[in-house]
Amino acid sequence: MRQISLVSGLLKCLVIAGIMTMTAVALASCATFKSTAKAHYTEARNYFFRNDATMPTSPLIDNGHDFDRLFGAAAFMGDNGRPTKIDFKKSFVIAVVLPETDVDTSIEIDDMTVDKSTLTLKYAVKTGNKNSYTTRPMAVVVVDNKFKRANVVLKRK
């Protein structure tokens, strides 16, 4: 009888220790988990939206063929004149393209966050003087493929 109570007591101690360990792990993970986190991106420079392209139906572009169909390189002299290299094996792009306008317009990327399965790109549109010509304002960001399956949301401020 004494052996049964000893085994029973040991089992209770093991169960209690296991519960305490799981509780400690759960509390520690909750303390470090953030529901919304910043997502790293790089702004692609020196591209333009092609005149013969139609507005993209999705902001996400995951291959070079589709990208080249929509955008052209706008290289100029100097180190800063080269278009940003995009490796579609490792990355995809998110494009913000606005309608054609004769007003000086720029798109400023504010930040990008990831929350569960949603990738949110926040941007602002700045306008200036009226021009004698039209342009198609656009901005392109390069994002790591680990976010490729996320639902992309564009949020204008």
Question: What is the rounded CA–CA span in Å between residue 112 and residue 120?
Answer: 5
The answer on pLDDT for 102 being more than 60 is yes
List, in sequence order, every beta strand (DSSP E) within the chain.
37-38, 41-44, 47-49, 60-61, 71-73, 91-97, 101-115, 118-135, 138-144, 151-156
Q: What percentage of the chain has pLDDT greater than the value 70? A: 78
* Helix intervals (H) in 33-118: 64-70
Mean pLDDT of 77-96: 95
Average pLDDT of every residue of the chain: 86
Identify the bridge partners of residue 44 per DSSP, sorted by sequence position. 140
- pTM for this prediction: 0.76
**Are residues 95 and 53 in contact, defined by beta-carbon separation less than 8 angstroms?**
no
Query: Which of 1-10, 33-42, 76-85, 110-119 has the highest mean predicted lDDT (pLDDT)?
Result: 110-119
How many Cα atoms sit within 13 Å of 151 on the Cβ side?
6
